[in-house]
């Protein structure tokens, strides 16, 4: 047997009008629909065979952060699988606080782009295994990149963005992936601005380019519309883990179904 491919539900944690933690899921990019209580969702996904959880604090506020740490502690006390927590992590103290709450790994996006030394500091203080560097990649079809792939006959590079894709950085994702790995990142979490919310599959050329460039494990994210998309990103891009949100939150597919689909086609999964 070999290391299994991981199926990871992503839970975006927000606060509702009463200040309680709540999960909202986007439908067609914009409209957010109340999906449930994050702790209850985590328990249900654990029973369904989730291999790990990613929790993202999408409030980017002090209150949101406090709520998030409380959610993490409650989940960590009841669910005995790995937890990755992201959103607004910018300092070593933020990492410490998040790990202390019960997270096993932290996912860092903007904080590392703005101050890459945070990766070195985090890896030195807590170990590479808990430092996940997340990229929000955007396809660009111009001459300003460093590493190109061909997509539909056109030459394309991938740019790291900030603020959920609203701000470009000019940094090539592949360059950044190399740098993050050298600085001590233990895992890379690859989101696609182009695919996010589309449900028409992961950005396979992007994921493959990152997997080919680094030796650290890669979590593919954005665009999963069903088990066949996970199959594609595992077999075509060689991703180590596939992340999905709405297909699980809206119960279009269960985690069991997804893993059975993969197992039937020869992808090693934990059943």
Partner 1 sequence: MSMQTDARREGEAAASVVVVDYGLGNLRSVTRGLERAGAEVEITDDPDAFGEADGVVLPGVGAFREGVENADPIREHLLAVAESDTPLFGICLGMQMLLSGSEEGEDDAEGAASAGLGLIPGTNLRFDQGQKVPHMGWNELSVERDHPLVEGVSGEYAYFVHSYYAVPDDEGAVVATTDYGLEFPAIIADDSGTVFGTQFHPEKSGETGLTILRNFVGLCGE
**For the purposes of burial, counting CB atoms within 10 Å of the CB of 104, is it exposed (0-12), middle (13-18) or buried (19 or more)?**
middle
Q: How far is the CB of 188 from partner 1 (least distance, A)?
A: 11
Nearer to partner 1, 106 or 156 (CB): 106
In this structure, what are the phi and psi dihedrals at residue 205, rounded to the nearest 5 degrees?
Answer: -60, -40
Nearer to partner 1, 5 or 65 (CB): 5
Q: How far is the CB of 255 from partner 1 (least distance, A)?
A: 13
**Helix (H) / strand (E) containing 131:** strand 131-140
Total of chain residues touching partner 1, rule CB under 8 A: 33
> Is residue 97 near partner 1 by the rule CB under 8 A?
no
DSSP one-letter code for 15: E
Nearer to partner 1, 6 or 65 (CB): 6
Integer Cα distance of 199 and 180 in angstroms: 28
Strands 241-244 and 6-15: parallel
Site string for partner 1, 237-256 (x = CB under 8 A): ---xx---------------
Using CB under 8 A, which of 91, 129, 144, 265 touches partner 1? 129
Under a CB-based contact definition with an 8 Å cutoff, are residues 225 and 54 in contact? no
> Is residue 102 near partner 1 by the rule CB under 8 A?
yes
Cβ within 8 Å of residue 258, ≥6 positions away: 7, 226, 227, 230, 244, 247
Nearer to partner 1, 19 or 127 (CB): 127
Query: Residue 23 has which token pair?
Result: 């999960």
Using CB under 8 A, which of 92, 128, 198, 254 touches partner 1? 128
Using CB under 8 A, which of 14, 57, 187, 203 touches partner 1? 187
> Is residue 265 near partner 1 by the rule CB under 8 A?
no
The region of 10-18, 55-63, 166-174, 214-222 touching partner 1 under the rule CB under 8 A is 214-222
Using CB under 8 A, which of 13, 76, 106, 188 touches partner 1? 76
Integer Cα distance of 66 and 97 in angstroms: 10
Query: Residue 248 has which token pair?
Result: 């699980």
Under a CB-based contact definition with an 8 Å cutoff, are residues 143 and 157 in contact? no
Under a CB-based contact definition with an 8 Å cutoff, are residues 145 and 172 in contact? yes
Query: Could you give the residue numbers annotated as active site?
Result: 12, 136
Site string for partner 1, 44-63 (x = CB under 8 A): --x----x------------
Nearer to partner 1, 69 or 160 (CB): 69
Interactions with partner 1, residue window 26-45 (CB under 8 A)? none
> Is residue 171 near partner 1 by the rule CB under 8 A?
no
> Is residue 217 near partner 1 by the rule CB under 8 A?
yes
Integer Cα distance of 221 and 89 in angstroms: 19
CA 33 to chain centre: 20
In this structure, what are the phi and psi dihedrals at residue 40, rounded to the nearest 5 degrees?
Answer: -65, -40
List contacts with partner 1 (CB under 8 A): 1-4, 6, 46, 51, 73, 76-78, 80-82, 99-104, 126-130, 186-187, 215-217, 240-241, 270
């Amino acid at each position: 047997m070999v290391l299994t491919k991981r199926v990871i539900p992503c839970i975006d944690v927000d606060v509702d009008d009463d200040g309680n933690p709540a999960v909202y899921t986007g439908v067609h990019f914009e409209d957010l629909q109340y999906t449930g209580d994050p702790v209850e969702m985590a328990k249900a996904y654990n029973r369904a065979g989730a291999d790990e959880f990613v929790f993202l604090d999408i409030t980017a506020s002090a209150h949101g952060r406090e709520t998030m740490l409380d959610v993490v502690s409650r989940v960590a006390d009841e669910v005995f699988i790995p937890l990755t927590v992201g959103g607004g992590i910018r300092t070593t103290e933020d990492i410490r606080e998040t790990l202390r709450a019960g997270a096993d790994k932290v996912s860092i996006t903007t904080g590392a782009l703005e101050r890459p030394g945070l990766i070195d500091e985090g890896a030195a203080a807590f170990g590479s295994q808990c430092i996940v560097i997340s990229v929000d990649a955007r396809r660009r079809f111009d001459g300003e990149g460093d590493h190109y792939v061909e997509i539909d006959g056109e030459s394309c590079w991938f740019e790291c963005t900030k603020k959920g894709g609203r701000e470009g950085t000019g940094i090539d994702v592949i360059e950044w992936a190399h740098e993050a790995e050298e600085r001590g990142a233990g895992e890379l979490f690859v989101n696609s601005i182009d695919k996010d919310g589309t449900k028409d599959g992961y950005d396979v050329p992007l994921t493959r380019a990152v997997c080919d460039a680094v030796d650290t494990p890669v979590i593919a994210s954005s665009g999963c519309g069903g088990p066949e998309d996970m199959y594609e990103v595992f077999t075509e891009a060689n991703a180590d883990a596939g992340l999905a949100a709405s297909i699980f939150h809206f119960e279009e597919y269960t985690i069991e179904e997804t893993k059975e689909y993969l197992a039937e086609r020869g992808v090693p999964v934990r059943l």
